[in-house]
Amino acid sequence: MLRAVLGSVQTLGEVSGAAKKEDIKQGSLLADILAYNIIAIIYATYTSYVGVRAWYGGGAAAVGSSLMHRLYAHSEPMERLCIATTAYEFYNSLATVWFPEYRTAAFIGHHLTTLLLGVLSLHPFLHYYAIFFFGVASTSSIPLCLGEVFNAIGSVAARDACQAVFAISFLAIRTCYWPYVSAGFWRDSLEALSKRSTHVHSLAAFSFLLVSNIGLTTLQFVWTGQILTAIASAIG
């Protein structure tokens, strides 16, 4: 539908944090970038709503009363988050390969890893922590994707406003809160793995989750550095 309206119009701005224009032989159509980010906004809004409501409204607490509950209790909100995330990241993994602007190792690795995490959570597995990682953490993606839309159509003022909201939300949720929740995940995982009396369904699944958490947390700090650099540049 967007292609029918916009035709062969190219994007007017550079995709934030992704491949640079000079490294792209032929950029995507404006219609395609808009469609991609509209889908991302819908996904992020839905998962943010479900995740925040569960995390702060009692849904997470219902499955967070003990070690084994945090690791293996089933959560209905997380089941919805898991299904949505698995489907979205399957699509997103293909889309990042299709769009040259998003065809970077960081983007592709992030989406493939999140796809596998969503599949593993279907067990059910780590529903308590996944409510935060799949839900609450998505809130910072809403202003990011909105900013991408405004950037693509050349609305600089609206883009800058969204980027400011994104920077604040990212630093609060992903830079500060993410490591705190990750520390709880590591504490519970290592305790479960160290006790012979604790039933652990898959050592491979635990190992993959722990390694993935290191990679994704490192990525949050890499993006934090980019955000702080951009803020310093804007102030300077």
Place of tokens 């990241």: 89
The token pair at 74 is 């089933």
- Per-residue pLDDT reduced to its tens digit, 112-130: 999 999 998 888 899 999 9
Contacts of 12 (CB under 8 A, 6+ apart): 30, 151, 152, 153, 154
Rounded Cα gap, residues 166 and 118, in angstroms = 24
The pTM for the full model equals: 0.89
Percent of the chain past pLDDT 90, that is, above it, reads 61
Selection from 138, 162, 137 nearest residue 149 by Cα: 162
Identify the pLDDT of residue 106: 81
* Secondary structure class of 199 (helix, strand, coil): coil
Q: Does residue 31 carry a pLDDT above 70?
A: yes
Cβ atoms of 118 and 89 closer than 8 Å: yes
